[in-house]
């Protein structure tokens, strides 16, 4: 009973046996989401063992007053917390007067949970002997509907095994929830109304400070041996909860089932005074459709998702399960239909981090969504930042910048910065570059240039202005320098001339200049609007150009590499392989100052630049830099191994690429960092996807040509993937013998194969 094992499966995450000690980890791994709400895999029935209860509603957050040891000017006043939402899944189960609680049962056997990623549902089954010796079998299945995304459905069945029993179900709503990570033990929710009618309950609430209005609701239907019962429950409520009580005598081997429908109506989609009505409408629709048909719709919708997103790997179930787990959770977190939402680093699986938007979105997630969904989804992610441009300008103003310079926040919900470590908040400014890069990446991939005159150019101007103001001229060097920054490698803080940041700054300015010209030439109306709004002047553009042309890059002639920052070569360049393994991960063993003056790199930094701008450097240069930086990279960020895997593939170092792939794809499944109980690493999952498509697949777009240069890890017999490229679904099938490319729909496509056997190379030209 105290052991559990995970069964490898291509399409499901399966756990057999119940281990209370790993329960919180499983609650994370088996989480459900449908893009607008989500929840950890908590039990429906009461559980007094270790559990981390979590329900989350996309975009509903609380501005928790900042708590710091030592205040620094410029810190934001609050930290936007992902908000634990009222719980609608609860079903208290009483068997002959004894509460079902897996923590107090005499015996539990045949415990099994499954997260079916193909069809989008979670199930759990077990047999339990209660303290009163009642033996029962339980089967529970639930899902958050994709087709009706305000509702979730649970089918919960108890079957008496050793005798007839009186079984009581108390489906409930609970709005008395708190955040584990609250700074000041504030109350986050205020309850406005608890409303119950025969079979329905509603708790109408709003969040304090942010005033988001939410109605949490439920309705249940009961069945014995799958035949509906027409019982009317006894309702009751407290000041924070509401429940309905159903009680029946159930014979041995009879199935007593409750279908519980529940979820949230939110004022983002309804009039805030009409949320109970909206919930009633949603319930009526769901009940009319019924649990079984809702599930059929769910399966169909997931089939649709997989159609353009699935990756198959032959001969390596571990790798196969890993990549599907990543694709599945990314789709649970964000579906791209609402440009007010974004991809939180823990999705709907935990509280940690707060905020929903990091540079992860632009650097890691956009390529995934762009290639697996309609291009509107990536456009929505770009629009999210466009809509927050004013806030980014305000953020920059708080730090002393002027004239429309924009600094996008490190962490945000609504565009305002909400993180408070000076070395990150004020200095990890490369995030601004990733936002410009995403615009470039989008137009390159989709060929949809219209985004730039419509929205993108204003963002590019704000960002270019920031860089121009952020550098200063060093008389000593006769160059522009960028002092006091933190690069992607957060194991160095407040350094000067981080190469990656300087390179992005130069590129962003040039890209902005190039697009100002383009828009001026071809979108006159847009140009005049933007000119009027941003008041850019010729003199300003000249100033930008001066910076871009004269920015300083630290370079070592001796090593022939760009240096991560000015002082890098003063460090003692010991290698990761020479580290004492007992001191790994170093972030759990070394004091911060020791980490900072060590050469060890948390995540791709210079190499992140080489990844972004692969065309700017030769293979020889890439190899030099990889050989210099990889041996000192500890990959203690979830965002690191994927980039290194991609580069290793490109350099045909397949063993290394494969090992790094496993590390990224099974980071949470195998709990590399011993923290999965806190939630999953959602955004890095997109990096895993990229490490197959761009890494092993060798996908590139250049001069409007899509090309692949696939390689196969020796552990695999073959692999295939699908991508949506400019409204063509392209199937790429790679084996060591032969690689093939097929295209759904429009056939006006040229496929070129280079004919090599093990290293297939192909170019696919969209005419």
Give the start-end residues of each E strand in 672-738: 700-702, 705-708, 718-725, 728-735
Is 590 an interacting residue with respect to a copy of itself (CB under 8 A)? Answer: yes
Annotated binding-site residue? 602: yes
DSSP tag of 11: S
- CB closer to a copy of itself, 177 vs 481: 481
Under 8 Å between Cβ of 514 and 587: no
**Radius of gyration from C-alpha coordinates of the chain:** 27
Q: Does 360 belong to an annotated binding site?
A: yes
CA 303 to chain centre: 21
Could you say which of 399, 531, 749, 752 contacts a copy of itself (CB under 8 A)?
399
| Distance in angstroms (rounded) separating the CA atoms of residues 461 and 541 | 10
The DSSP bridge partners found for residue 214 are: 205, 266
Residue among 334, 470, 359 at smallest CA distance from 411: 359
The residue range among 191-199, 397-405, 608-616, 638-646 that interacts with a copy of itself, by the rule CB under 8 A, is 397-405
Q: Contact 154/45 with Cβ under 8 angstroms? A: no
Give the number of other CB atoms < 10 A from CB of residue 230.
Answer: 6
For residues 314, 315, 317 and 318, what is the CA-based torsion angle, rounded to 10 degrees?
A: -110
CA dihedral 693, 339, 143, 47 (to 10 degrees): 100
- Give Cα 377 to chain centroid, integer Å: 14
Q: Which two tokens stand for residue 273?
A: 């005074």
Residue 647 contacts residue 625 (beta carbons within 8 Å): no
Binding mask 592-621 for a copy of itself (x = CB under 8 A): xxxxxx------------------------
Applying CB under 8 A, among 219, 316, 416, 427 the residue interacting with a copy of itself is 427
Handedness of CA 529, 532, 533, 538 (dihedral sign): positive
Q: Which of 164, 181, 566, 614 is close enough to bind a copy of itself by CB under 8 A?
A: 566
Instruction: Tell me phi and psi for residue 159, to 5 degrees.
Output: -120, 115
Q: How far apart are CA 46 and CA 526, in angstroms?
A: 59
The full length of the chain comes to 767
Could you tell me the smallest distance in angstroms from the CB atom of residue 396 to a copy of itself?
10
User: Do 222 and 233 contact (CB within 8 A), yes or no?
Assistant: no
Site for a copy of itself in 487-516 (CB under 8 A): 493-494, 496
One of 525, 538, 557, 570 touching a copy of itself (CB under 8 A): 570
Rounded to the nearest angstrom, the gap between the alpha carbon of residue 416 and the centroid of all alpha carbons in its chain is 20
- Provide the angle, in degrees to the nearest 10, between the axes of the packed helices 499-522 and 457-470: 140
**557 near a copy of itself, rule: CB under 8 A:** no
Stretch binding a copy of itself (CB under 8 A), from 48-56, 583-591, 636-644, 679-687: 583-591
Nearest-approach distance from CB 192 to a copy of itself, in angstroms: 30
400 contact partners, CB below 8 Å, separation of at least 6: none
Q: Binding a copy of itself by CB under 8 A: which of 285, 484, 546, 742?
A: 484
Q: Which is nearer to a copy of itself, 423 or 744 (CB)?
A: 423
Of the pair 410, 434, the CB lying nearest a copy of itself is at 410
- The residue (of 398 and 731) whose beta carbon lies closer to a copy of itself is 398
- Decide: is 581 part of the binding site for a copy of itself (CB under 8 A): no
Of the candidates 259, 243, 230, 231, the one whose C-alpha atom is nearest the C-alpha of residue 202 is 243
The one segment of 218-226, 467-475, 518-526, 674-682 that binds a copy of itself by CB under 8 A: 467-475
For this structure, is 490 an active site residue? yes
Catalytic residue among 114, 490, 678, 709: 490
Task: Please check whether residue 518 is in contact with residue 526, taking contact to mean a CB–CB distance below 8 angstroms.
Answer: no
Is residue 475 close enough to count as binding a copy of itself by CB under 8 A? yes
481 binds a copy of itself (CB under 8 A): yes
Confirm whether residue 46 is marked as ligand binding: no
Note whether 68 binds a copy of itself by CB under 8 A.
yes
Q: Which is nearer to a copy of itself, 339 or 474 (CB)?
A: 474
CA–CA separation, 730 vs 721, rounded Å? 8
**β-sheet with 165-174: strand ranges across:** 98-99, 91-95, 165-174, 241-250, 234-237
422 touches a copy of itself (CB under 8 A): yes
Applying CB under 8 A, does 67 fall inside the site for a copy of itself?
Answer: yes
Q: Does 352 bind a copy of itself (CB under 8 A)?
A: no
- CB nearer to a copy of itself: pick between 634 and 693: 634
User: Would you say 422 or 696 has its CB closer to a copy of itself?
Assistant: 422
Stretch that binds a copy of itself, among 95-103, 395-403, 439-447, 529-537 (CB under 8 A): 395-403
* H-helix or E-strand spanning residue 128: strand 121-129
In angstroms, how far is the first alpha carbon of the chain from the final one?
61
Q: Which of residues 524-553 bind a copy of itself (CB under 8 A)?
A: none
473 lies in the binding site for a copy of itself (CB under 8 A): yes
Which range in 203-211, 506-514, 591-599, 603-611 contacts a copy of itself by CB under 8 A? 591-599
With a CB cutoff of 8 Å and minimum separation 6, the contacts of 45 are 91, 92, 93, 100, 101, 102, 138
Nearest approach, Cβ of 354 to a copy of itself (angstroms)? 11
Residues near a copy of itself (CB under 8 A), total: 47
Check binding of 73 to a copy of itself (CB under 8 A): yes
Among the listed residues 6, 17, 51, 66, the single contact to a copy of itself using CB under 8 A: 66
Q: Rounded to the nearest whole angstrom, what is the least distance from the CB of residue 347 to a copy of itself in the complex?
A: 22
What is the rounded distance in angstroms from the CA atom of residue 179 to the CA atom of residue 37? Answer: 17
User: Of the listed pieces 203-211, 336-344, 353-361, 473-481, which binds a copy of itself according to CB under 8 A?
Assistant: 473-481
Considering only residues 289-348, where is the footprint of a copy of itself by CB under 8 A? none
Contact call for residue 579 and a copy of itself (CB under 8 A): no
Question: In this chain, which stretch among 138-146, 434-442, 471-479, 715-723 interacts with a copy of itself, using CB under 8 A?
Answer: 471-479
569 near a copy of itself (CB under 8 A) = yes
**Cα-based distances in Å from 219 to 91, 94, 269:** 12, 19, 21
69 in Cβ contact with 223 (< 8 Å): no
- Regarding 472 and contact with a copy of itself (CB under 8 A), the answer is yes
Q: Please identify, using beta-carbon distances, which residue of 294 and 418 lies nearer to a copy of itself.
A: 418
Residues near a copy of itself (CB under 8 A): 66-70, 72-74, 398-400, 420-423, 426-427, 472-477, 481, 483-484, 493-494, 496, 566-567, 569-573, 587-597
Binding residues for substrate, as ranges, are: 359-360, 602-603
Which residues does the annotation mark as catalytic?
Answer: 490
Binding residues, as ranges, are: 359-360, 602-603
């Amino acid at each position: 009973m105290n052991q559990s094992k995970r069964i490898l499966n291509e399409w499901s995450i399966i756990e057999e046996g119940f281990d209370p000690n790993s329960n919180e980890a499983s609650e994370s791994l088996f989480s459900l989401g449908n893009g607008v709400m989500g929840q950890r895999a908590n039990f429906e029935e009461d559980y007094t063992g270790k559990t981390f209860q979590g329900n989350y509603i996309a975009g509903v957050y609380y501005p928790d007053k900042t708590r710091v040891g030592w205040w620094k000017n410029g810190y934001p006043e609050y930290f936007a917390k992902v908000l634990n939402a009222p719980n609608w899944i609860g079903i208290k189960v009483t068997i002959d007067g004894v509460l079902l609680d897996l923590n107090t049962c005499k015996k539990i056997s045949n415990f099994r949970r499954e997260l079916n990623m193909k069809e989008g549902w979670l199930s759990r089954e077990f047999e339990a002997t209660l303290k009163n010796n009642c033996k029962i079998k339980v089967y529970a299945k639930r899902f958050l509907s994709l087709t009706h995304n305000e509702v979730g459905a649970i089918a919960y069945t108890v079957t008496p095994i050793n005798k007839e029993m009186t079984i009581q179900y108390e489906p409930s709503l609970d709005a008395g929830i708190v955040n584990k990570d609250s700074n000041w033990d504030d109350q986050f929710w205020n309850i406005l109304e608890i409303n119950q009618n025969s079979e329905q309950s509603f708790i109408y609430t709003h969040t304090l400070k942010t005033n988001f209005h939410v109605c949490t609701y439920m309705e249940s239907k009961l069945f014995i041996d799958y035949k509906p019962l027409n019982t009317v429950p006894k309702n009751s409520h407290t000041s924070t909860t509401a429940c309905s009580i159903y009680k029946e005598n159930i014979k041995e081997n009879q199935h007593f089932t409750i279908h519980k429908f529940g979820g949230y109506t939110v004022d983002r989609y309804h009039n805030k005074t009409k949320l109970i009505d909206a919930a009633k409408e949603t319930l009526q629709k769901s009940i009319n459709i019924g649990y079984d048909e809702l599930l059929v719709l769910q399966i169909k919708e997931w089939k649709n998702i997989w159609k353009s997103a699935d990756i198959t790997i032959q001969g390596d179930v571990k790798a196969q399960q890993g990549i599907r787990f990543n694709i599945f959770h990314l789709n649970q977190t964000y579906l791209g239909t609402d440009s007010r939402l974004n991809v939180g680093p823990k999705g709907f699986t935990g509280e940690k981090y707060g905020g929903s938007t990091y540079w992860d979105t632009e650097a890691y997630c956009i390529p995934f969504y762009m290639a697996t969904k309609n291009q509107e989804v990536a456009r929505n992610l770009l629009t999210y930042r466009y809509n927050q441009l004013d806030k980014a300008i305000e953020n920059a103003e708080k730090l002393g910048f002027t004239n429309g310079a924009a600094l996008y926040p490190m962490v945000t919900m609504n565009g305002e910065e909400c993180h408070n470590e000076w070395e990150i908040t004020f200095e990890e400014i490369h995030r601004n570059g990733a936002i410009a890069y995403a615009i470039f990446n989008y137009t390159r991939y989709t060929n949809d240039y219209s985004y730039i005159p419509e929205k993108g150019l204003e963002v590019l101007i704000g960002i270019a202005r920031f860089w121009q103001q952020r550098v200063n001229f060093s008389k000593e060097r006769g160059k522009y320098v960028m002092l006091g920054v933190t690069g992607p490698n957060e194991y160095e803080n407040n350094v000067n001339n981080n190469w990656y940041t300087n390179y992005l700054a130069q590129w962003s300015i040039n890209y902005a200049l190039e697009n100002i010209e383009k828009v001026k030439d071809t979108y006159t109306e847009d140009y005049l609007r933007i000119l009027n709004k941003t008041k850019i002047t010729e003199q300003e553009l000249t100033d930008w150009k001066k910076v871009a042309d004269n920015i300083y890059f630290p370079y070592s002639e001796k090593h022939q590499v760009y240096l991560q920052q000015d002082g890098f070569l003063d460090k003692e360049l010991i290698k990761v392989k020479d580290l004492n393994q007992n001191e790994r991960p170093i972030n759990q063993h070394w004091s911060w100052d020791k980490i900072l003056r060590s050469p060890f790199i948390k995540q791709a930094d210079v190499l992140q630049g080489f990844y972004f701008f692969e065309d700017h450097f030769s293979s020889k240069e890439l190899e030099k830099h990889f050989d210099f930086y990889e041996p000192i990279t500890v990959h203690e960020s979830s965002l690191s191994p994927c980039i290194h895997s991609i580069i290793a593939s490109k350099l045909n170092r397949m063993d290394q690429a494969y090992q790094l792939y496993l590390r990224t794809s099974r980071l949470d499944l195998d709990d590399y960092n011993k923290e999965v109980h806190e939630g999953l690493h959602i955004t890095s999952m997109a990096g895993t996807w990229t490490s197959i498509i761009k890494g092993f697949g060798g996908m590139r777009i250049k001069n409007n040509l899509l090309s692949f240069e696939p390689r196969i890890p020796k552990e695999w017999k073959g692999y295939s993937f699908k991508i949506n490229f400019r409204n063509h679904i392209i199937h790429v099938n790679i084996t060591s013998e032969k690689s093939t490319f097929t295209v759904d729909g429009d056939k006006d496509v040229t496929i070129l194969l280079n004919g090599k056997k093990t290293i297939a190379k192909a170019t696919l030209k969209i005419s």
